Amino acid sequence: MQLPITLALTQAQHKELKDHLFPGDNKESVAFLLCGMRNGDRKKRLCVREVFILPDEAYSERTNVKVTWSPDYIDDILEKATEEELSIIKIHSHPNGYPDFSATDDQSDRELLPLIEKWVESENVTHGSAVILPNGQIFGRTLDKNKDFISIDCVSVTGDDLHFWYSDSGNIDAPNFMASHAQIFDEGTIERLQRLSIAVIGASGTGSPTIEQLKRLGVGEIVVVDDDHLEERNVNRILNSSITDARSLKPKTLVQEEAAKLHGLNTTIIPISDNLWKKETIEAVAQCDVVFGCMDTVDGRFILNAISTYYNIPYFDIGVRLDASQRDGETGQIREVCGTVNYIQSGLSSLMSRGLFTMKDVAAAGLRRNDKTAHTQQTKDGYISGVEASRPAVISVNMFASSLAVNELLARLHPFREEPNSSYAAVTFSLSSMEFFYDEDEGKCEILSSKVGFGDVTPLLGLMELAERL
């Protein structure tokens, strides 16, 4: 069975294509995309790693409906794809806005794509071609062994705004329960919500209300990751949970799956009751279109930053902080109630470069996860900082932060704010001072920015700890 294919670009890559393939002369131009891959069990994800613009001297003819060029200029691209097992997507412009492949395109692709496949000689990669229109929309296809064209199901661009273009757009009817928010969002946004696959990492304080909102917005698929089971102290903040569930030690992911089936809102829940640091868990998350991080462990948030970068996936990180003190024998002296939603784009800044934690913190958290005895000793010796075992949690604050994060997703799918989305890379709220603060994205992450679109590599995400699990 042919798995759905997504071609995933960053905002910078998409801008580079538009700038070079529409130089203003109303003539077609050509570029090539080198892509890493996530060869999943649910879908294939082609993650654009590099953009190669065909130089002017390569063209023998350029018109507004046709372009011819010498294949001699792509030898370096073919060699790099062969050495690193990368997919190649040829992309050209249709300056006249024609929203389909032409007969000339058909002939060209039937000649070029088999040659690329023969040169690269790898069964693990998928090659294809694509077209970009003046409005920025991209559509594409691959060629099967019978020389039949297979549409690339989705082309996505992760940027300040989120774009998802589908090959069969308009073929999904919205169920009746979506009628109310269909009055606010256009048909395209409603359809995108139904088609999205979203990973929610953590099914507890901020995770369960995030899942609930996404489900009731009509999101098609939610991958829920949490390796913990319910306890009675969790029930105060996990939606759809009960004391009975807690006493039976029911997995948190199972609570969400059962609730989705009971509610019947057409959302498929894929429960993963395992650690995020498992190879199989990362591979499942990396097939998704969007990731929500609802966890406070430093090493877990680092992994999500890495997944976002390697697979060109937008990542919404939710953090909540409640500070309470005990003075003069009294409890409940609240000093601060605040939270932040960080929006992470592949190739730009990360939670590390934004100063939320350091790689030393990541290493300490990893030691705590893998060797608690060594972590305790090193903390005692002063080599590393300790990690809090538990923090205060209040459902109203968690739901406030979760709602803020889900609205960030909606604002990027269907921009509605007075200022551009580029102004809101991080949004912080304080319920103590009743204020909002927001910041633009600045700079790049020195640790991860060179790994954009790498896809599946060995070891996974370039981490030796994951190599041990292969």
Closest CA to 132 of 165, 106, 175: 165
Domains in the chain, please, with CATH? Answer: 5-158 (3.40.140.10), 176-467 (3.40.50.720)
Question: Which pLDDT belongs to residue 469?
Answer: 42
Q: For residue 360, what are the contacts with CB-CB under 8 A and spacing of at least 6?
A: 384
pLDDT, tens digit (0-9, with 9 covering 90-100), for 228-250: 999 999 899 999 999 999 999 99
24: left (phi over 0), alpha (psi -120 to 50) or beta: left
Helices (H) and strands (E) in the chain, counts: 14, 19
pTM listed for this prediction: 0.93
Q: In the predicted model, what is the mean pLDDT of residues 334-346?
A: 91
Question: Which pLDDT belongs to residue 174?
Answer: 79
Contact 113, 127 (CB under 8 A): yes
Contact 288, 199 (CB under 8 A): yes
Question: Which pLDDT belongs to residue 386?
Answer: 46
CA distance 71 to 113: 12
User: How far does the chain reach from its first CA to its final CA, in angstroms?
Assistant: 26
Closest CA to 278 of 301, 297, 249, 300: 300
Contact 250, 238 (CB under 8 A): no
CA distance 139 to 129: 9
CA distance 414 to 164: 11
- Residue at 161: amino acid letter: D
- pLDDT above 50 (res 222): yes
pLDDT, tens digit (0-9, with 9 covering 90-100), for 361-408: 888 877 677 655 644 544 454 444 544 445 567 899 999 999 999 999
CA distance 400 to 321: 12
CA distance 130 to 102: 12
DSSP helix/strand/coil, 105: helix
Strands (DSSP E) found in 254-412: 268-272, 290-293, 315-327, 330-344
Q: In the predicted model, what is the mean pLDDT of residues 312-338?
A: 79
**How distant, in Å, are the alpha carbons of 112, 281, 319, 370, 390 from that of 277?**
40, 7, 20, 11, 20
Q: For residue 445, what are the contacts with CB-CB under 8 A and spacing of at least 6?
A: 305, 309, 348, 349, 350, 352, 353
Strands (DSSP E) found in 328-451: 330-344, 426-430, 435-439
Chain centroid, CA 3 distance in Å: 19
Q: In the predicted model, what is the mean pLDDT of residues 409-422?
A: 96
Contact 430, 423 (CB under 8 A): no
Cα torsion through 368, 360, 279, 401, rounded to 10: 90
pLDDT, tens digit (0-9, with 9 covering 90-100), for 72-92: 899 999 999 999 999 999 999
Mean pLDDT is lowest, of 34-38, 159-163, 223-227, 331-335, for 331-335
Contact 127, 87 (CB under 8 A): yes
Contact 170, 180 (CB under 8 A): no
Neighbouring C-beta atoms of residue 429, cutoff 10 Å: 21
Residue that is written with structure tokens 């007075």 in the block: 418
